[in-house]
Amino acid sequence: MTMPARWWRNGVWRLGYGAMLLWLILAVCTVPLAPAVAQLPPLRVGATLSNKPWQFRSPEGAVIGFEADLVREIAAGLGRPLVIENFQFSDMLAALTEGRIDIAMSSISITPERRERFDFTQPYYLTTQALVVMRGSSIRSLADLRHRTVSVIPETTSDQWVTANRELYRIGEVRHVRGLDEGLDELTHRRVDAHIGDMPALLYRLLGRNDLAVVARLGTRENYGLMLAKGSPLTQPIDDMIAALKRNGTLARIHQTWFGSPPEPGSPVTQVLPRP
């Protein structure tokens, strides 16, 4: 029996279409797939987010500031997402010890005691401590702190200085506050007579306050660095990134943004230094 010609033509077309479809499926299945790119874990940074101009929240809620910009550059250079968490200073040190964060930053001074417990990157800022009072105060020098009430942030180098010099200057009550905002609030409402803290942060606050005055520097020389867990595998790569940001001028531009002036020649902002 002979098939009608139209059946044959349809049969050939249907067989040809099916063969072509099968070839496409096999071709797709045999193409090697590119390996999936594993996303690196986030760089977890702890910070005190009331520490102007180092790190604080903008009116929109973004974390901004000198050190905030620094760690963003570091995270981008390492190809890792960045997560910044808010801590009180003493809680931040505990979080670093317990491995809940990778980096602690909050204008942290590099001290021999801290170096025994933690790793530090090379310094990127040199500073000192200062004494701030209400502009009309009778306190004009450290000698005037006799029997006066002073506020400091606990476990900071300001706190350590007050502990070491309390008897020398006959300082009265020492009140611990959670941050500079609280310290200045205590001062404004006359609950303390003076606050001792980091000079750059105090000067930054004075830009918008004509009722406060820095009346004395403590004479300390302190270098700021990022702090990591002892023996962290991130310490050297992060230190290398800081060195690169100094060499290419990025850190100097960050300084210009937050302090309104270029860094001084030979400053740790631009000079590549060894890790402590």
Residue 148's pLDDT is 98
Inform me whether the pLDDT recorded for 38 exceeds 70.
Answer: no
Same domain, residue pair 176 and 67: no
Number of domains in the chain: 2
Q: What's residue 208's pLDDT?
A: 81
Whether residue 178 sits in one domain with residue 141: yes
* 247 in any annotated domain: yes
Helices (H), 98-196: 112-117, 157-169, 180-188
Considering the domain architecture, whether residues 67 and 109 belong to the same structural domain is answered as yes
Kindly state whether residue 17 falls inside one of the protein's structural domains: no
Which residue among 170, 197, 220 closes a domain? 220
- Same-domain pairing of 95 and 61: yes
Residue 19 lies in a domain: no
Percent share of the chain, pLDDT over 70: 86
Statement to judge: residues 63 and 81 lie in one domain: yes
Q: Please name the residues in contact with 3: beta carbons below 8 A apart, sequence gap of 6 or more.
A: 11
Judge whether 21 lies within some domain. no
**Whether residue 94 is found in the same domain as residue 105:** yes
| Res 24: pLDDT | 43
Which DSSP symbol is given to 44? E
Please provide the average confidence, as pLDDT, over all residues in the chain. Answer: 88
> Is the domain of 135 the same as that of 200?
yes
Residue 9 predicted with pLDDT over 70: no
- Establish if 248 belongs to a structural domain: yes
- Which residues span the domain enclosing 182? 129-220
Residue 15's pLDDT is what? 42
pLDDT for residue 220 = 87
Read off the pLDDT of each residue in 47-56 and give the average, rounded to a whole number.
94
* 92 and 206 belong to one structural domain: no
**Residue 115 and residue 93 share a domain:** yes
pTM of the predicted model, to two decimals? 0.77
Residue 35 has pLDDT above 50, yes or no: no
Tell me, what's the pLDDT at 238? 98
Query: What is the rounded (10 degree) CA torsion for 253, 46, 87, 209?
Result: -10
Lowest mean pLDDT among 8-12, 42-46, 201-205, 254-258: 8-12
At residue 29, the pLDDT reads 43
Give the pLDDT score at 18: 47
Q: Are residues 216 and 133 in the same domain?
A: yes
Residue 52 domain-assigned (yes or no): yes
Residue 133 lies in a domain: yes
What is the reported pLDDT for 126?
95
Determine if residue 231 is left, alpha or beta; phi over 0 gives left, psi from -120 to 50 gives alpha, anything else beta: left
CA 168, 169, 175, 178 dihedral sign is negative
User: At residue 28, does pLDDT exceed 80?
Assistant: no
* CATH assignment of the domain containing 181: 3.40.190.10
Q: Looking at the structure, do residues 215 and 142 belong to the same domain, yes or no?
A: yes
Could you tell me if 215 and 251 lie in one domain? no
- 96 falls within a domain: yes
Tell me the pLDDT tens digit for each residue of 210-220.
999 999 999 88
